[in-house]
A and B are shown apart, each in its own frame.
Chain A
Amino acid sequence: MKAAERLARDPNLKAVVREVEASLDAARRQDVSRRTFLKLTGLAGGGLTLAFYLGSPSVAQSQEATGEFAPNAFLTISSDGSILIYNKNPEVGQGIKTAFPMIVAEELDANWNHVRVEQSPIDEAVYGRQAAGGSRSIPSSWDQLREAGAAARAMLVSAASEMWGVPVDECSTANSIVTHDATGRQLTYGELAESAASLPVPDPGSLMLKARDDYRLIGKRITGVDNEKIVTGQPLFGIDTTLPGMVYASYSKCPATGGRVRDANFDEIRSLPGVQDAFALEGNDTVTELMPGVAIVGDSTWATQSARTSLRVDWDESEASTDSWSGLVEQAQGLSLQTGSETIRDFGNVEEAFEGADQTLEAFYSYPFVSHAPLEPQNCTAWYRDGGIEIWAPSQTPQRAIQNVANVLSIPEERVTLHQTRIGGGFGRRLLNDYVCEVAAIAREVGVPVKLQWSREDDMAHDFYRPGGFHALKASLDGTGRLSGWEDHFITFTHDGRSPVSGGETRGGEFPEGLLDNFRLTQSMLTLATPTGPWRAPRSNAIAFAVQSFYHELAVAAGRDHLEMLLEIMGEPRWLEEGNVGVLNTGRAAEVIKLAAAQAGWGQPLPPGRGLGLAFYFSHAGHFAEVADVSVDGNRRLSVHKVTVAGDVGPIVNLSGAENQCQGAVMDGLSTMLGLEITMENGRVQQSNFHQYPLMRINNAPVVDVHFIESDFPPTGLGEPALPPLAPAICNAIYAATGHRVRTLPLSKDGFSV
């Protein structure tokens, strides 16, 4: 019990869910009302520096009064014409470090080749939200970034018009050059920077933003700003951090979460080659911060890693997890026979719908726990000195990391300085900062710079897993073959018996809620002591598999075309909550469904053993439909030939980055559903490395064909919403090819291989 309670009262787990779940629309509206632009002068090198401030206006004003204004993001145009743009959010592979500056550069009419991008420092008071999660970065910053670029452009144009003595509306801009159209005179931004800096900053309300037809950069394919460094192997990632006099550390925790160190063979470990010290840390009993363990400090990563093979720890597991996945599955199967103990939604009258139905169908769907497994294992570097600490962290939530470290070390947050590094994959894992806290505590003991390096085995044993789950579904079809009633008993997990675990919640609004009259969602919860957390497209990544597969089952039962029946349930084009980008718009849904089907050749005759499968899902403000084209042979060997993706997230900022995210989401979804599963017995995760957690390899990678509908709705993020439709599209295609219905993931459970 204790192990589950510990997670129930963990403040960071709840905060992180808020972080990724907060209403996209609210974020957008709130930040727009806070915009502030300021001009900075007196910087070395001269030129125009324009700050745009996304935090609290009162902080901006007080800083302005004291002359200490620090912008959260800014652009500097130097006299030599170079343009520096700061990016404030962590780069985890989602491409934000390229997309943000593109938005600024578009309205600035900058020559992209002149643009250089740097990561901004971390400071919440000054910079507002700095995090990578929930596909929220673009929606919450779109307007400010455009206005910042437009403000600088307006100042450059004013400077040119004054020099030439002509009205501003006779001047145009392109490629970092202002042109007086009538005379053909030109001045570059570099030539104008100095005089533009002496002009007042225009009121954001007076700025003319470009019409979409005038975009030169937004919507194009732009290669990532760090790509040259990546392909030449330059230091960029957390793991690449090297400091003078740096030592290395490993940290061993109990394989069952919550175990404490009774004793260990410290003397033996200290005597091993290259080992400088070995000691236990007590921790603060918070799984997202610091749990008990043994630190080994040495003069190289290998010295600490090889010393670990000799480490013997006597663990006290009286308050550790004893979870058993096989036991939980059995309990869930028992519960599936009844209605859930808690009613989450109850619209219309499902009983009546079921009674009056032409047909009813029932099915039980389940999916396993999975790990994030980013390719860069957790690591962090820290240097504790003079009562303060400096940290180099690959974290998706750097601001929270500062709070976590301050809490663990009992020092004020002002004494924690954090530098963000590029991150070798996150998928939600690095929303939590346990490894940052661990190195902070070790750094205080050793007093010199220290890099903590987790092994792959550490990473797989100590994740905040995507929780597994179960859906007992029942639905009815009326005499015309229309869906008339839907009931879902969702069996999930809880740490405290009151609320579901992180990543295992239902928030309502999941398909087909809102699309039919009679709908009921109930919930039961099994007690869990294994840590869980958000994983790419939290909740939707798993629910979509169950509900979009089941809806296809209904189409089959009704003898109807799946495409037609999916369009039917979307019905008249309407926004289920007008103006809220976080809510389904059936018109946008229907358009992506039609586009995916058309591009994939829906309805074409296919040879035996081959099939197309369709699915749609709305999540994280993105409308996505996908069609999978698969073959299955007599031994259940699966080949995925192609996946067609159609999405609507409003205007696309970087077409290359956007397509890359969709391709990646399809690969991630496929990789996960094929054979990935985390199981626990006696509180221990049974998979240790990639041989037991077989991520998909290039030889099984399908062709992914991505199409966007660039509607005029506000742009929203792309890190997540292309993932959920993939699993049901594949399963529906398998059904079309074979007549076999997959209701349990991963596919390897049903004997499928690739």
Chain B
Amino acid sequence: MATTILEPAHAAAYAKRSVLVEWLTTVDHKKVGILYGASAFVFFLIGGLEAEIIRLQLMKPDNHLVSPEFYNQLFTMHGTSMIFLAVMPISAMFFNFFVPLLIGARDVAFPRLNAMSLWVFILGGLFINFSFLLGAAPNGGWFGYAPLSSRQFSTGVNMDFWMLGLQILGIASLAAGVNFFTTILNMRAPGMTLMRMPMFAWSVLVTQVLVLLSFPVITVALILLTADRTFGSSFFSYTTAGGDPMLWQHLFWVFGHPEVYILILPAFGIVSEILPVFSRKPLFGYSAMVFSMAFIAFLGFGVWSHHMFATGMGPLADSFFSLATMLIAIPTGVKIFNWIGTIWGGSLQFKTPLYFALGFIAMFIIGGLSGVMHAVQPADLQQTDTYFVVAHFHYVLFGGSIFSLTAGAYYWWPKMFGKMLDEGLGKLHFWLMLIGFNLTFFPMHLSGLLGMPRRIYTYPAGLGLDGLNMASTIGALILAAGFLVFIYNVIRAWRSDAQAPADPWGGATLEWSIPSPPQEWNFAVEPVVAEKDVLWAMKRAAGVRTLPEPARVSGKGIHLPSPSWWPLLTASGILAFMVGILVKGPVTHGFPFGLVSVAGVLLTALSIFKWSYEPVDHPTTHTPH
């Protein structure tokens, strides 16, 4: 046990490393989290830029700001980036940084595997975006419907980038899924029973179940697509051989619907942390929250075909999937009522995180309602593939996930970086975002109902769409301004010397009991948990509102995993493998695999082998001090 004080066990090894090497080889979950967040934010900005160009193109009828082909690349990359390179990894930043802190652990269960997930994700994101430099970014929509994605209709490397890039990102998600599932089940501090866990930890646990059971399906779908595009089979294209594009749609959505819950459940978790703290009241209906989340996840596996009503599955299948989809509204409603129950009668502290959390509730309700409208199959036939659907998923994804992630950023920023973000700027950010968001996306309900198809390059004047589109574009610019304010806020905080206290908000959970930012080993003394909202319990027991500022200690004798190059090298091997397939392109005679792929496999295999035999602690650990 780490109660004695000494130098951190591997300080010597660390001291020799340059900053760059330190970050490249880090296995500290907090550094990994920050790297996730920073890289995801860059991808988020790129995706946002793509969105702004899309909006400028649609600003007025018959516009030709960009070419139709580039427009296709823009919306495809926008969707793909926002889902796989922004919302998922920004969530992953919070998983990484806060799950161990919330459950009272010193690290995740598999620190090096964690670092590998990070690098695979970053390399995968760079890989997909690299396509822009070749002028061949993916252009078949974020769900790559066959046969549009087959070689016959997509001869360039555009969709190769998409399919191989998603494959890379899937590896990162699956590895992280195994890691966080194990961490939450097995690394909890003594006394931290499952039903005492903070709700965010619960949301991560449930999310990982979804990841683990849905990502393999898209892995297979992408493998089959690779077989089609690169090795000449015809799983998804109508040929005399009898391939069936419907198989792609099914496999994609068997993954795709759980995926939308992968995007929203962490957001649920974050809001469930913030609302109690800023209402000074425990979360209302804790166990109902847990069970409704589990129920949502479970049902989430049985509704995928609601994305395919227009394919003519027949009345039986349509009715089944309609009903199953509507059923999801029940546990979702339970959660919304519980959030409202949490703030009801609370003494609300109107700080920026609360603003965003409340914005989340309101926007998510609107998105949920239009979701239920889609669930009604006859109505959906009118809405599908129109801007109405675009409005729906932006209300749940932007109004839901992004509002909540932003709330989380303001809430946890002081803990992550030891600096407070400015309240005034934060509130300005909020109002710009709320107004900009609604101005952008609410009109899309109307343009959709008027019949404006999604993924349309331009539209003629006089259809009643002009004003609505102009409004959306203005809204999008306001949204962008909101994020500029956020960036300014971050830079300001970065520059300032003011140190954030350990517990600026009067928190209820363990991360607020340790210094901001946390020391490498998180907890100098392993916490012991006797009830929910453990920090509140500790404050009550001590009869204080805030606990004394925790001292920074030198963690003598605390063993931490030592840094490693192998995760990064493993990830590089995976990247090389995919690059090999990419350059192979259409089936050629001669060498069956690109040499690059072979080299990639060898590098990955070697790295995993080396990693397996690498001592987990650095040897200096064992030299007596």
Please determine whether chains A and B interact with each other in the same assembly.
Answer: no
